[in-house]
Structure 1
Amino acid sequence: MDKAPKAAGASARVDDPAFPAHRAPRCRSLDELDAQVIHCRACPRLVAWREEVAATKRAAFRDWEYWGRPVPGFGPPDAAVAVVGLAPAAHGGNRTGRMFTGDASGDSLFAALHAVGLASQAESIDADDGLTLRGVRLAAPVHCAPPDNKPTPEERDTCRPWLAAELELLSPTLRTVVVLGAFGWQALFPVLSAAGWEVPRPRPKFGHAVRVTLPGTDEGRNTLNVLGCYHPSRHNTNTGRLTFPMLVDVFREAARLSDL
């Protein structure tokens, strides 16, 4: 079993629920953060599920060697836009090792980013397909694929320090956060509040195309725009709840607000 490096006279095992809270704040770059995330085993249910899926596989991907670990964020360290989703898909990011890559949600997401000029290509097939993002970083409140795509509140809270550290490292350039779905919306605002932004009370309700502007702070926080967007899940796109033009419009607005 891997162990976390010791820091400041303390240590935390990767299978300790305190591991994210111990390691995430000590990371000084996104590369360092990503390297720590992929070793995390803090949530036993998620570890068991992601590894079971990686071993049993889906018939269509029987020749794949699944990633089967926590999936780190993806995108440049100076991104002006962060996209906060839910969690990796069992046969998407959990298979490919890259957020939103290899599943139906990613098909819609990357096509929309490409349409706005924020992705180098419209398809995201695997981690070595050459895709790059311009000014955008993909993040998630939960880094492991959960059963039925439903992390528990405890799992969300255990994983929260990774998201908090990611947004902290992005804060010098961050101008806009696009939140895909209500789960990400609920997970994000406590992180922003703890990071120093003044979040309205009661907290804003999630909705598609909802925009919340958090003023900058004397501590150097930039004015931050938070945009709600329905999650580009197969259910939402197949039923027409979220159309491709709707998704493109959200990212076009995010790019405008962030001067991209």
Structure 2
Amino acid sequence: MDESGTRPAGPSPPDSEDSAFPSFHAARSGGLTELDARVADCRACPRLVAWREEVAATRRAAFRDWEYWARPVPGFGPPDAALAVVGLAPAAHGGNRTGRMFTGDASGDFLFAALHAVGLASRPTSTHRGDGLELHGVRITAPVHCAPPQNRPTPAERDTCRPWLSAELRLLGPGLRTVVVLGAFGWQALLPVLADAGRPLPRPRPVFGHGTQLTLPATGSRPELQVLGCYHPSQRNTFTGRLTFPMLVDLLARAADLAGLTDGGPAA
């Protein structure tokens, strides 16, 4: 308190268009529900805001009757998830339309079918929010929460959005044991988040690859963390056979085992 006996006011919250909006609110979110609501309000990247809203206004003919979400897409999954899946960003006519990560596009169809095959999703398809899909022990998120033009966020957009991912992993708490990273962009975005969170990374930093496994030692109350690289289930990868369905199922089963989500109990 100051000399007058009143408590000094804290910093004023930045507007949603301010580049400081993510860092301010991510650090102050006390739970995933609050964080998800803040994410959905963000307008900190002008190019992404303009693109997501333009896509929603023009739409695809197949979705002309849809009311697009056209906002940042929060993560999806239980707050005590032991496994996190980190992608790239929402698709323009997928998550940007449905409001849920990996929902409503071919990549999501591939991913949710594999999650269901491993027992991590209640159904093999995801079409819209409220379709009854539930995830078991896994949360899906991305380093960029708005659909970017040509699926390519800029480094500045990635960095502006980074506090949301940092806060999400923090709020998952010590129960988080494994992270699957879909694609090189997600891998490059995640490693600085882990370093900033006090997770010591090897030097040189490991290069992304399908099946790459990075083991980060326990720190404080947090257990050892396993980070697995996986090719992104984009149509470019799945149509060419670079990523096959058995490959994805095998990697997710390995991740579930490491996270303690199989009958064998918690991972060692």
TM range (shorter): over 0.9
| Number of equivalences | 253
Name the structure 2 match of 1:232: 233
Name the structure 2 match of 1:247: 248
1:175 maps to a residue whose letter is: R
1:114 maps to a residue whose letter is: H
- CA deviation vs aligned residue, 1:68-93 (integer Å, no higher than 9, x gap): 00000000000000000000000000
Name the structure 2 match of 1:201: 203
Deviation at residue 9 of structure 1 after TM alignment: 3.1
Q: CA RMSD in A?
A: 0.8
Question: Which has the greater radius of gyration?
Answer: 2
Retained in 2: the 8 A contact 1:197–1:221?
no
Counterpart secondary structure, 2:255: helix
- CA deviation vs aligned residue, 1:136-166 (integer Å, no higher than 9, x gap): 0001000000000000000000000000000
Deviation at residue 8 of structure 1 after TM alignment: 2.8
Of the three residues 106, 123, 131, the one matched with 2:125 is 123
Structure 1: runs of 5+ lacking an equivalent: 1-6
Deviation at residue 171 of structure 1 after TM alignment: 2.3
Name the structure 1 match of 2:42: 40
- CA deviation vs aligned residue, 1:164-200 (integer Å, no higher than 9, x gap): 0000001221000000000000000000011111111
Name the structure 2 match of 1:113: 115
Counterpart secondary structure, 1:63: coil
Distance in 2 of aligned mates of 1:37 and 1:253? 30
1:120-199 equivalences under 5 Å are: 120-199=122-201
TM-score (normalizing by structure 2): 0.93
- CA deviation vs aligned residue, 1:1-27 (integer Å, no higher than 9, x gap): xxxxxx833220000011001110100
Retained in 2: the 8 A contact 1:171–1:222?
no
- CA deviation vs aligned residue, 1:20-59 (integer Å, no higher than 9, x gap): 0111010010000000000000000000000000010001
Structure 2: runs of 5+ lacking an equivalent: 1-8, 262-268
Distance in 2 of aligned mates of 1:135 and 1:198? 25
- CA deviation vs aligned residue, 1:186-232 (integer Å, no higher than 9, x gap): 00000001111111111110000110000001x22210000000000
Counterpart secondary structure, 1:124: coil
Distance in 2 of aligned mates of 1:105 and 1:64? 20
- CA deviation vs aligned residue, 1:92-150 (integer Å, no higher than 9, x gap): 00000000000000000000000000000000011111000000000100000000000
Retained in 2: the 8 A contact 1:88–1:145?
yes
Name the structure 2 match of 1:13: 15
Deviation at residue 244 of structure 1 after TM alignment: 0.1
User: Identity percentage over the alignment?
Assistant: 73
Worse overlay, 144-153 or 8-17: 8-17
Name the structure 2 match of 1:4: none
